[in-house]
Amino acid sequence: MVTFAKMVEPMAKKELLVKEKDELVANCNRFETMKHSSSLPYVFTEQGVAMLSAVLHTPKAVDISVKIMDAFVAMRRFLASNAQVFQRLDRIEYKLLESDHKFEDIYSKLEEKSFLSTRSLNLLQSISF
């Protein structure tokens, strides 16, 4: 007998990244027990769900598989329909990072100038008559 685990190809499931796990725990209370777990959970990819629906034939399994596939379709549509918004956000973030670097340069130069001015003033006071 072939089990489902043997049928699932490695690319049909993936291990979450630490960042993804932390985000999942932060946004979903039911995953609170995973917060301090040292192992990362596995999730099904869209292909894994399709493979699962090919193996499980109960009405509930079919219904859930359809809902999950609908969620993947909705997610793809959302990403496609908002691609310009995401690109614009990327550009804004890039400009913001550029501005941050420019402000850091300005602040460091102002601090350097202030330090030099204070040092010069102290030197002049020490040699005053």
In 3D, which of 16, 15, 4, 14 has the Cα closest to residue 51?
A: 4
Q: Provide the b/e sequence for 36-67 (b: ≥16 CB within 10 Å).
A: eeeeeeeebeeebbebbbeeeeeeeeeeebee
pLDDT of residue 128: 58
Backbone angles phi, psi at 13, to 5 degrees: -140, 155
In terms of domains, do 63 and 94 share one?
no
User: Which range of residues forms the domain containing residue 114?
Assistant: 84-129
User: pTM of the prediction?
Assistant: 0.47
Task: Note down pLDDT in tens along the chain; length 129 residues.
Answer: 444 455 445 546 666 778 877 887 787 777 777 777 777 777 777 777 777 777 777 888 888 888 888 888 898 899 889 989 989 999 999 999 999 999 898 888 877 777 667 766 676 666 755
In terms of domains, do 73 and 129 share one?
no
In terms of domains, do 41 and 3 share one?
yes
Structural domain total, the chain = 2
In terms of domains, do 104 and 59 share one?
no
In terms of domains, do 76 and 35 share one?
yes
Yes or no: say if 51 and 12 are a contact pair by the CB < 8 Å rule: yes
In the structure encoding, which two tokens stand for residue 35, read together?
Answer: 């917060």
In terms of domains, do 48 and 101 share one?
no
In terms of domains, do 15 and 48 share one?
yes
User: Which alpha helices (DSSP H) does the chain contain, by range?
Assistant: 4-7, 18-27, 46-55, 59-81, 83-126
In terms of domains, do 69 and 98 share one?
no
Sole residue written with tokens 């020490």:
126
pLDDT of residue 85: 92
In terms of domains, do 4 and 52 share one?
yes
In terms of domains, do 89 and 74 share one?
no
pLDDT of residue 97: 94
In terms of domains, do 1 and 36 share one?
yes
